[in-house]
Each structure stands twice: as C-alpha cells, then as structure tokens.
Structure 1
Amino acid sequence: MPIKYIPPTPVDLATLKDELQLTGKQMADLAWLAGDQHWRKYTNPNPDNQRPMSAQMLFVMMAQLELDSATIERVLNRMRKAGATITLDAQ
C-alpha cells in the first residue's frame, strides 16, 4: 500500500516527548533506537543537523503506544516467522 509521507517536524517530535512525559532515552527505546543521542537527531532544531523520521520508525512508535501487548507480540512473531531475530529487553 503506497503512502505519501511527510515526517513530523522536530518541534512535533519534541511536543510528543513532552506530552508523553518521557525522557530522551525512553523515546529512543520507543523508536527502537540505540540511544538518546540518536533521538536528538530527530528533534534537533538546527536545519543543517536535522534527520527526518522515517514512516516505519514513526509507525513502530505509534504501534507501541496504541496496540495492546498481545497484538504487538503477534506482529513480532510474524516478523520472526519471516526470518528476523527479535528480542525485546524487559523494562
């Protein structure tokens, strides 16, 4: 299903972080990023250092916020069935 996608702005992502009352590390975890330094690349207000967030990354974040754990696990199992190795850290 093709989509037309315009990523959220750094301000949009910073606002989301504030609304969720999460730390940069927690937002990085939500986006499956290696660390909060990577999250900051998406919220950097300097246009020369901004990184647009991919639709896939935003989808992962929103899925974790909106879907129940059984549905997320079902999707992860489908990914594993396709050959991926996925282990989520217990939080």
Structure 2
Amino acid sequence: MHITKVNNVTIMDQEYLESFVASISKSASETAIRVFTEQQQKREILTTSQVAKEMRKTTATIINWIKEGVRGIKLKAKANGKSYEITRLDLIEFNNKRNI
C-alpha cells in the first residue's frame, strides 16, 4: 500500500510521493502552457485576407461569416475602419463550433 495512516498522520512511501508530485507538476505545467497559448492566440490579430487564405475561402466569404454567420454561428471580429480584425483564438473557436 502506498498510503498509510499512523496516529492520524498520513504517510506515503517515497516512490508514490515522487510520482504524486510529478503528476501535480505535470498538470500545473500543462495548465500554464494552455493559458499561455490562449493568451498568445488572443494577441495574434488576423485580417480578413489572412483568414481567407488560411481557410481557402474568399475575403467576401469571411466578411459574410462575420456579418451573417454560418448555421447561426458568427465569426467574431472587431471593425477597424473599413476592415476587420480577427484574433487567432476567435478563429479557432469559430471553427470548433462549426464542426460540432
């Protein structure tokens, strides 16, 4: 047994403790990487032309996705004069919702 109680004190064997700490560290690292990646994706700004090229669609299609949506799902974008700015994260979320 890896965990025992002696006089209401929990005792773990060394190997189990090391494994437990490693799993917590791995989980914390994975969470930190996920949060950092999401922050980077929020900062990466794409134009409608960039999105169109990446998605192999026309710029008009991307603008339609922003204004009208696809099956009730709109691509989030911020108007910037006569153009739009789309974050990488918003593009990923849009694609995930469309593929459900």
Say yes or no: TM over 0.5.
Answer: no
Which bracket does the TM-score occupy, shorter chain normalised? 0.3 to 0.5
Which structure has the larger Rg? 2
Query: So what's the TM-score if we normalise by structure 2?
Result: 0.33
Higher strand fraction (1 or 2): 2
